[in-house]
Chains A and B, each alone.
Chain A
Amino acid sequence: GENVEQHPSTLSVQEGDSAVIKCTYSDSASNYFPWYKQELGKGSQLIIDIRSNVGEKKDQRIAVTLNKTAKHFSLHITETQPEDSAVYFCAANQAGTALIFGKGTTLSVSS
C-alpha cells in the first residue's frame, strides 16, 4: 500500500519569509496529491491539490510541485503571514482508493 513521508515535522519562519514542506510517496500508481491545512480545534481544509499529469500548480501565495520520477511533491508558501500558522498535511492516492496522509508539519509564522 501507499506510504507518505513528510518533512519537516515543525517549521518556524518570520513573517514575509517563504516556507517549504516536502513529502515523498511510495506507490508509483498514485496520481492525486492534495494538501490540507488544519487550524487548532478545526477540521482539515483542502488548500491545493495536484494530479500526476501536471508538474506545478499555483494559487496566489501557495504552490505545489510534483516530481513523479523521484516520487516527491512539495508545498511552497510565499510571503507568509501569521494566519498561515497551522498544521499542514500532505496526502496521496490513486483515484478510487483511500487517501493516505503524511504525519504533518506544524508551521509557526512569527511577526
Chain B
Amino acid sequence: DTEVTQTPKHLVMGMTNKKSLKCEQHMGHRAMYWYKQKAKKPPELMFVYSYEKLSINESVPSRFSPECPNSSLLNLHLHALQPEDSALYLCASSPGGRGGFGYTFGSGTRLTVV
C-alpha cells in the first residue's frame, strides 16, 4: 500500500457544527502532516506529527485540533469554523528521520463552511 487515504472527499458544514477529517497510511511512515490549500495557492503547512507527537503547530487557530491516535492515523477535528476556512485540506506522510526522503500526499478533503 503506497497511498495516503483521506476521508471524506467532500464536506459541507455549518459554523456551529463539529466534524472530523481523517487520514490513514500503511507505509510505515512516522511523520504525518496537515496542509491547507486555497485555489491556485500553494499548500500551507498547519501541523506536523513526528513519531505520533505534535512537533509543529504553525499558529493555527484553536478551532482546528489535530490528533494522532497511532502511527497510521491522523485526524483533524473541526469546531466553530468560519467561511474563510473553506479550502482543500491535504494530509501527507513521509518516512521521518534524516534519511527519510519523499512525501506522499492524499487527494484531500474539500471543505465548505456555510
Give the B-binding residues of A (Cβ under 8 A): 31-32, 34, 42-44, 46, 49, 51, 87, 89, 93-96, 98-104, 106
Cα separation A93 to B33 with both chains bound (whole Å): 13
- Complex contact B41–A103 (CB within 8 A): yes
- Complex contact B101–A43 (CB within 8 A): no
Could you tell me how many residues of chain B have their Cβ less than 8 Å away from some Cβ of chain A? 28
Tell me whether A32 and B41 are in contact in the complex, defined as CB-CB below 8 angstroms, given that A43-B107, A98-B33, A98-B56 are known contacts.
Answer: no
Set of chain A residues within 8 Å of B74, measured between Cβ atoms: none
Nearest 8 pairs of A and B residues by beta carbon: A101-B42, A43-B107, A43-B108, A95-B101, A96-B97, A96-B98, A95-B100, A98-B45
Set of chain B residues within 8 Å of A49, measured between Cβ atoms: 102
Question: Contact string, B76-110, partner A, CB cutoff 8 A, digits 1/0?
Answer: 00000000000010101011111111110111100
Set of chain B residues within 8 Å of A96, measured between Cβ atoms: 31, 50, 94-100
* Nearest B residue to A42, CB-CB: B107
Set of chain A residues within 8 Å of B45, measured between Cβ atoms: 98-100
Question: Contact string, B19-57, partner A, CB cutoff 8 A, digits 1/0?
Answer: 000000000000101000100111101001010000010
Cα separation A103 to B102 with both chains bound (whole Å): 20
Tell me whether A98 and B48 are in contact in the complex, defined as CB-CB below 8 angstroms, given that A43-B108, A103-B41 are known contacts.
Answer: yes
Set of chain B residues within 8 Å of A93, measured between Cβ atoms: 103
Cα separation A103 to B37 with both chains bound (whole Å): 11
Distance of A22 from chain B, by nearest CB (Å)? 16
Cα separation A102 to B50 with both chains bound (whole Å): 23
Cα separation A99 to B31 with both chains bound (whole Å): 11
- Complex contact A89–B96 (CB within 8 A): no
Set of chain A residues within 8 Å of B90, measured between Cβ atoms: 43-44
